[in-house]
Amino acid sequence: MIVKIVSEKFDIPNSHTLKIAKEHGAYSALNTALSKSPEDIINIITESGLRGKGGGGAPTGTKWSLMPKKSDKPHYLIINGDESEPGTFKDRQILQYDPHLLIEGIIISAYAINAHEAYIYIRGEYKFFIDRFQEAINEAYAANILGNNSTLSHKVNITIHRGAGAYICGEKTALIESLEGKRGHPRLKPKRPEPEYYFGNPATVNNVETIATVPFIVENGASAYRQYGTEKSPGTMLFALSGHINNPGIYEMTYGSSLVEFINEIGGGVKNGKKLKAVIPGGASTPVLKADENLACIMLDYESMRSAGSALGTGGAIIMDEDTDMVEALKNLLEFYHHESCGQCTPCREGSGWVDNIVGAILDGVAQEKDLDTLLDVAKTMNGKTICVFAPAVAGVIEGFLKNFREEFENYISEGRFVKSPVEAIAEASCQTSLE
């Protein structure tokens, strides 16, 4: 179901300017927010069940409550706008069409965690969106909404930090390393939950869309947000469609919406009237789903995706039609991971090249049947033995393709070329089997 919370102003002409944004309610949540205590705001966000929208889906309120209550060190709010997961292009819409909503969210979130400095890390390729967001920041400074001369009781400065082309900097600790002027190498994870640290000072890292959701929740209350979505995945998310689809784009929908309906009704179905073969549901790093009778049972929320053997990720779905060569598709993704592995951990650095080469050998017609077992064996070695979740994600991608399309890989090896496998049209009928 389409519900517009974050995307409410996307269709209004010039919604990115302060004047138009204010006419449509921008910054109206600030008074409510600043009249409450920071603890109250954290409580509201916790009650709302808001989950991080960058891919992991961690509860935002819990993350904020990790920030120390009493500390003489400065606190930092860091916003992740690195958006590099293939299939994902949602945060740029917020930067382009409603930057003031994001600024409003930053002010409230910074207040909640007692930060006066906010850094937003935006991928380097997004020059246009960086410039657009900087214009909005400049307007907000001029109107004394931001900065040390702000008329608000809580002063916030926002600085855009431009990335320079490294997928891994979307990993929050790699992002902080990069912000500290280093290579984007993810950090070891602590044993117990604790905040992140920017030059040794407590920091929180949140995704752009997560922060842009905060004003609605604070203004309207936790239950207003909880009326949408499911018990465990409340609210809405900017879902995306790309690949073989008639209407690619970004659509804000409630969690728990049907994946098949999303593709067929909102997305207008598969391009050129072809049949659906496969869906990568939440960005390239989520395991591929096969279009079979189970697909109709899969909903767009964290729990349903997990029980279907995949993940909701960033909500960016890549659609593949009946003629898609799955060996070529996997090779394409593995080239991406091979290029983007940061090189810090051996299983990932070596493994991502190795798996790329094996699938390359299949495409070149020089592979043997046993290479598929080697592929899975390398994938297994990549899983759970590295500092960050990059390598486990690659393993999941490989396992997803082989679980669902192993026959196609075997045929490719024996024939030395792509052999099209028949694809059943999935019935429009509602879900027949129930997933555990």
Partner 1 sequence: MNTFAFTPKNEEKFSNILKKYPHPQSLMLPSLWLVQEQEGFISTDAMEYIATKIEVAPIEVYRVVTFYTMFNLEKIAPYHIEVCKTLSCKLCGQDEILKYIEEKTVNSDKFKISKVECMGACGGAPMMTLNGVYHENLTTSKVDEILREIK
* 297-336 binders of partner 1 (CB under 8 A): 316, 318, 320, 324, 328-329, 332-333, 335-336
Residue 171 CB, nearest approach to partner 1 (Å): 14
Residue 145 CB, nearest approach to partner 1 (Å): 17
Tokens 């592979």, located at residue: 367
Judge contact between 65 and 92, C-beta under 8 A: no
How many residues bind partner 1 (CB under 8 A)? The answer is 58
C-beta closer to partner 1: residue 33 or 146: 146
Strand locations in 31-105, DSSP E? 75-81
Record the tokens describing residue 238, joined without a space: 């900017």
C-beta closer to partner 1: residue 117 or 219: 117
Record the tokens describing residue 359, joined without a space: 């699938």
C-beta closer to partner 1: residue 51 or 338: 338
Record the tokens describing residue 94, joined without a space: 């917020």
**Binding mask 331-360 vs partner 1 (x if CB under 8 A, - otherwise)?**
-xx-xx--xx-x------------------
Counting Cα atoms < 13 Å in the Cβ hemisphere of 408 gives 24
Q: In whole angstroms, what is the distance from residue 267 CA to residue 317 CA?
A: 11
* 60-119 binders of partner 1 (CB under 8 A): 74, 83-89, 92, 117
Site for partner 1 contains 193 (CB under 8 A): no
**Binding mask 238-277 vs partner 1 (x if CB under 8 A, - otherwise)?**
--xxxxx---xxx---------------------------
Q: CB under 8 A: which stretch of 60-68, 142-150, 159-167, 380-388 binds partner 1?
A: 159-167
C-beta closer to partner 1: residue 97 or 167: 167
String of DSSP letters for 194-205: --EEETTEEEEE
What b-and-e string marks burial along 376-402, b requiring 16 or more CB atoms within 10 Å of the CB? Answer: bebbebbbeebbbbbbbbbbbbbbbbb
Q: How many helices (H) and strands (E) does the chain have?
A: 16, 10
Candidates 23, 68, 127, 368; binder of partner 1 (CB under 8 A) is 127
Residue 227 CB, nearest approach to partner 1 (Å): 28
Record the tokens describing residue 355, joined without a space: 């798996």
What single DSSP character describes residue 158? E
Helix ranges restricted to H, 150-233? 172-179, 208-220, 222-226
Candidates 37, 71, 144, 159; binder of partner 1 (CB under 8 A) is 159
Report the sign of the C-alpha dihedral through residues 365, 368, 369, 370, in that order.
Answer: negative
C-beta closer to partner 1: residue 48 or 242: 242
Question: Residue numbers of the site for partner 1 (CB under 8 A)?
Answer: 74, 83-89, 92, 117, 123-128, 157, 159, 161-167, 178-184, 198-199, 201, 240-244, 248-250, 280, 284, 316, 318, 320, 324, 328-329, 332-333, 335-336, 339-340, 342
